[in-house]
Amino acid sequence: MRRRGATTSSPRHPARAWCGSTANKTPATPRRAGICTACMPEPAALPGYAELHAISAFSFGRGASLPQELVQRAVELGYAGLALTDECSVAGVVRAWARLRELREEGRVPEGFALLYGSEFALPGGRLIAIARHLQGWGGLCRFITAARTGGAAKGSYQIDWQHGSFSLLAGCEILWVPEPPTNSAIDEEAVSACLASVTARFDPEHLWLAVELLRSPEDPLWLATLRLLGARHGLPLVAAGGVCMHRRSRKPLQDVLTATRLNRPVADCGLQLQPSAERHLRHRLLLSRIYPRALLQATLQVVQRCSGFDLAQIHYDYPQESLPAGLTPSQALRQRVLQGMAERYPRGTPVQIRRYLVKELRLIAACRYEMFFLTVHDIVCFARERGILCQGRGSAANSVVCWCLGITAANPEHSHPLLERFISRERRHEPPDIDVDFEHERREEVIQYLYAKYGRERAALAAAVITWRPRSAIRAVGAALGLPQTLIDAYAQDHPGFHEAPGAAHLQALAVRTGGQPLSERSALLWPLLARQLLGLPRHLSQHVGGFVLTQTPLTCLVPVENAAMAGRSVIQWDKNDIKDLGLMKVDVLALGMLSAIRRTLELVSERRGAPFTRYDIPPDDPATYAMARRADTVGVFQIESRAQMAMLPRLKPATFYDLVVQVALVRPGPVAGGMVRPYLLARSRRAAGRATRYERSALEDPAQPPRLMQALARTLGVPIFQEQVMQMAILAAGFSPGEADALRRGMATFKYGGNVHKFEARFIGGMVAGGYRPDFARRIFEQIKGFGEYGFPESHAWSFALLAYESAWLKCHEPEAFLAALLNAQPMGFYTPSQLIQDARRHGVAVLPVDVTQSDWDCRLQYPQAVVQDCKPNRPQTLAGKALSAIENKADADLRPAVRLGLRLVGSLGREAGARIVQARTLRPLAGTEDLALRARLGRGELNALAAADALASLAGHRRQQTWEAAALHGTPRLLQDAPVGEARLCLPAAAEAEEIIHDYAALGLTLRRHPLALLRPHLARRRLSSAAALLALPSGRSVRACGLVTVRQRPQTAGGTVFVTLEDETGTVNVIIGAELRERQRQVLLHARLLAVQGRWQRTCAAEPGAGSAACHLVAGQLADLTPLLGRLAGHSGRSRDFR
């Protein structure tokens, strides 16, 4: 039977009618969601209610509020509880749980409020809501979600139906069935009844409810009557629910945008897919009492009573036991392995201080029961070392003497001032320590598959990473949802990569006209940036963490759902690293670091060249030439100190020792910059160089005869706090913090810019320092400096780990430049610079680079030795070649005997590794006779042969590039049956292309050229415009007004730079660092963002008295005017308008 709703006299918005004449008498009375607050009864008089069906933004494309916002709003409205029921997901529950915990600590949660944990599932005819009653019910819910997400479902989706769903797993849950609401006033009673029959056949009626969602539509009375009738027929009690997808009604426009984005169409075309009203928000209980019968509201409290016995704090985690030797307790096993490692680290005896550290740390580890965590990480590191995979621990783990003895970290705690509380604290014993281990990025997958093989898919999975809406993606999504032209969306996204300044409506109107479109409506111009800002930061989808593994002793799916990752062979839990930390689960970070791959490859090439193994431990410490190179900022390709900001600091800091490198790595970070530590530290170094003593603030309560108390924390950095450990030490020494409180301060500062409880620490810190005898203004200044660490500051232990890699890579660049270049190219993609920039830097240092050649190149770039040495070594054994070449080079008998770098086939775009291997194999038996011989013996297809010709890799077989392209086309243009037939006509010889054309094709095929730099060809024209080269600028004094031009290789806008943009220009002689202020950036935004060849007029400045030989890193050009000269690149092709993306 089908029912249609009759026209009713009841108003569509009963709350407004209820206010009636009162609203007319007092028009200024404030209203809340359609309620006259003047008429509002006391909260105690309102019926109790708990929202049982609420989704958050983790129901991607549907929810418009964060879990934290939902739980806080439910508390504010006086609800008895809130069930977070995201679609086939529990990804947001930990955030809601953590926020509720914070609100309870602040005393803002009424007694009895309960957060319930559930999920919803779309089924034919409606939605199924499952809410866990107890811990076993939670485990069943997690397994049910896992089955739906992994049973053949694509990433990001799930599969479930009445026939194949494992509904028995939900026996420990309260089940709510939400029938599909009526459309167009039509209610199909038989269809709803059939669905209810399917539900009642699969679930215990004692724990089954029929949910009623009334959204103040004209059909509500008839829909309620129908559900009452069907509920009685099937024996199901009715319960109220709101179908909530936002915490406030003001989020309705954003919810429409999310719906449009999910459907991939403009809002105007979404029709009935949009919510018809804004009622799916957390509504006031007074309004709910006017919509729902009291019995339905009371039923929600029964569900809360049944489900409030479970809380996420009940989740119990057990460490995996595979790494525990038989017959030993975890403490015995860890102590045994630590003592073995200590004997290897200190063969001549362990220093007394290290022994003291070790005893303290082992006791703390045992008290917190972390032994299996350390044993598990040690097992992973041992696996990598057995297979020759370079690895190194970093982060706070480098504070650990245990990690040092186990070989997990490389920073010697004897020199790195370890602070154990930064790593492990009794106050947070529920939270395992954080151990990050970097592995070679090319071989990390071997480690990942080892973990899967050892622990199984049911006990090992990667943590999730929550991908949020970023500025550009938010701009594009909202623009598309508003139905705006794509050209306008692209222009706005390009012009405003962030929301540092909100563009006005006039700017958007001008942008619309400039892109050739119609003027925007006033509403669109206002809504676009407004909704984009609201969307910013909301979850967009789940991805996999870069390497955070969760390992368990019991099945992981009893704790959290697991789903398929986009990458084959990977599985991901639904919680991210912060959720894992909040719940105290173990996470082992198996991270990838490209520089480790580059160092390992360099060491292999050096070993080959020297004729003997050469390892990291053979790199000599404190090499003067290496530090001199660093002081010149000659660090292109060097780990950590290769960025423009780091290179600008190197000539100012002038590192001469390893600890200087540690400070260098940590100082050029947003934290120290925002905290104002950079200039004071450089001044302190200058004072020390002048022989003046470092001054420390003294407490009025200190003994003047004793060293200042703060000297213990700050002496190593000349009185300026740079590292996180120093912040903690200052809090302990000067403000009276306990070690646990000091670590809480560090973690609080890390969340400062996200609204952390910094005010609590501020009062405690300043008050503690004042009570300790320090001046109030000094205490406030120190705390303001500490706030900078909320913008990302390094722990000293982490800086030590990275400084080791920085020194090793710098030494290899300094002493083995050919091997270092080849290794960097083979380890791509990685680092700050493109292969073209790396090659140009190496060539400026005298490294010979040879082109890709099918008769000479391997897949990887390699060292190629001078022909004289090769010929001389032919009668001897092959392994003597490297040693003989090394001897000749080291004796400098002939500079031409230095090896060259032969570019590998890997640089040829669209040429696969298998094709490269076939080319190398084809030429091992006999030399290649020509292009046709290569194609036949290496079984190359048309695309592969064309790619080689485009890259000029067939030059030794066919001549210049045009000839190569012709022969490749001719070979595959002949039918297969006639390819061996004799050809009577002579070979066609084509003229070679001009150098400019060859350069263009080099960049197109390889992304680089070994010919002249593009600007070398344009130099005469640039000279006529009085545009100086990078080399010419270096000879000019500071303060000179200059004009320069170059290819834009880098654009950077650090958050701590106050709107300033840093641009790097490159020409045939070097690079120029350009500083563009905020005013000029806004005035010439289009030129700045779009120019590939940029001319700059401004003032030349030298930042300091640089080391002799220091290059452009010690100088910069402060821009006053910009000009886009990109059209000049068209002259390289011989006609205007054509240009390439030169990098």
Pairwise CA distance, residues 408 & 397, whole Å: 8
Query: Across-strand partners of 46?
Result: none
Check residue 785 and give its pLDDT.
78
Beta strand pairing call for 849-850 and 900-902: parallel
For the chain, where do the domains classified as CATH 2.40.50.140 start and end? Answer: 1014-1133
In a 13 Å sphere around the CA of 1002, the CA atoms on its Cβ side amount to 22
- Residue 110 CB burial class (10 angstroms; 0-12, 13-18, ≥19): exposed
- DSSP secondary structure letter of residue 6: P
Strands (E), 401-493: 436-440, 460-468
Phi, psi (rounded to 5 degrees) for 899: -65, 155
Residue type at 224? L
Pairwise CA distance, residues 574 & 451, whole Å: 19
Which residue is associated with the tokens 């003592």?
Answer: 339
Per-position DSSP letters for 1099-1128, written without gaps between them? EEEE-S-PPTT--GGGEEEEEEEEEE-GGG
Q: Which two tokens stand for residue 283?
A: 């509504």
Which residue is associated with the tokens 């957390």?
Answer: 282
Pairwise CA distance, residues 285 & 49, whole Å: 7
Pairwise CA distance, residues 93 & 313, whole Å: 12
Per-position DSSP letters for 100-163, written without gaps between them? HHHHHHTT-S-TT-EEEEEEEEEETTEEEEEEE-SHHHHHHHHHHHHHHHHSSPPTT-----TT
Task: Name 211's Cβ contacts closer than 8 Å, sequence gap at least 6.
Answer: 52, 53, 129, 176, 177, 178, 238, 239, 240, 241
In a 13 Å sphere around the CA of 152, the CA atoms on its Cβ side amount to 4
- Residue 924 CB burial class (10 angstroms; 0-12, 13-18, ≥19): exposed
1061, 1023 Cβ separation under 8 angstroms: no
Task: Name 402's Cβ contacts closer than 8 Å, sequence gap at least 6.
Answer: 334, 338, 358, 361, 362, 365, 374
Task: Name 343's Cβ contacts closer than 8 Å, sequence gap at least 6.
Answer: none
340, 289 Cβ separation under 8 angstroms: no
Stated length of the chain = 1143
Pairwise CA distance, residues 925 & 938, whole Å: 12
Helix (H) or strand (E) holding 409: none
Beta strand pairing call for 126-132 and 186-188: unpaired
Pairwise CA distance, residues 477 & 511, whole Å: 18
Residue type at 839? I
Check residue 420 and give its pLDDT.
66
Residue type at 387? R
Q: Which two tokens stand for residue 901?
A: 């770098």
Pairwise CA distance, residues 541 & 999, whole Å: 42
3-class state of residue 660 by DSSP? helix
pLDDT in tens, 423-466: 676 666 566 777 889 999 999 999 999 999 999 888 999 999 99
For the chain, where do the domains classified as CATH 3.20.20.140 start and end? Answer: 2-247+282-314
3-class state of residue 653 by DSSP? helix
98, 105 Cβ separation under 8 angstroms: no
Q: Say if residue 182 is preceded by a cis peptide, omega within 30 of 0.
A: no
Pairwise CA distance, residues 560 & 697, whole Å: 51
Q: Which residues in the chain land under pLDDT 50?
A: 1-33, 500, 752-755, 868-869, 871-895, 1106, 1135-1143
Strands (E), 469-556: 539-551
3-class state of residue 1064 by DSSP? strand
Task: Name 23's Cβ contacts closer than 8 Å, sequence gap at least 6.
Answer: 16, 29, 36
Give domain 1014-1133's CATH architecture.
Beta Barrel (2.40)
Strands (E), 360-513: 391-394, 436-440, 460-468
**How many Å separate Cα 860 from the centre of its chain?**
29
Beta strand pairing call for 208-212 and 173-179: parallel
Helix (H) or strand (E) holding 906: none
Residue type at 513? V
Phi, psi (rounded to 5 degrees) for 592: -110, 135
Per-position DSSP letters for 300-328, written without gaps between them? HHHHHHHHTT--GGG-------TTSPTT-
Check residue 1138 and give its pLDDT.
39
Question: Would you state the torsion angle of the CA atoms of residues 142, 144, 146, 148, taken in this order, to the nearest 10 degrees?
Answer: -150
User: What is the phi-psi region of residue 961: left when phi exceeds 0, alpha when psi lies from -120 to 50, beta otherwise?
Assistant: alpha
Residue type at 1093? L
In CATH, the number for domain 2-247+282-314 is 3.20.20.140
Check residue 124 and give its pLDDT.
92
- DSSP secondary structure letter of residue 929: -
Check residue 674 and give its pLDDT.
72
| Model pTM above 0.75 | yes
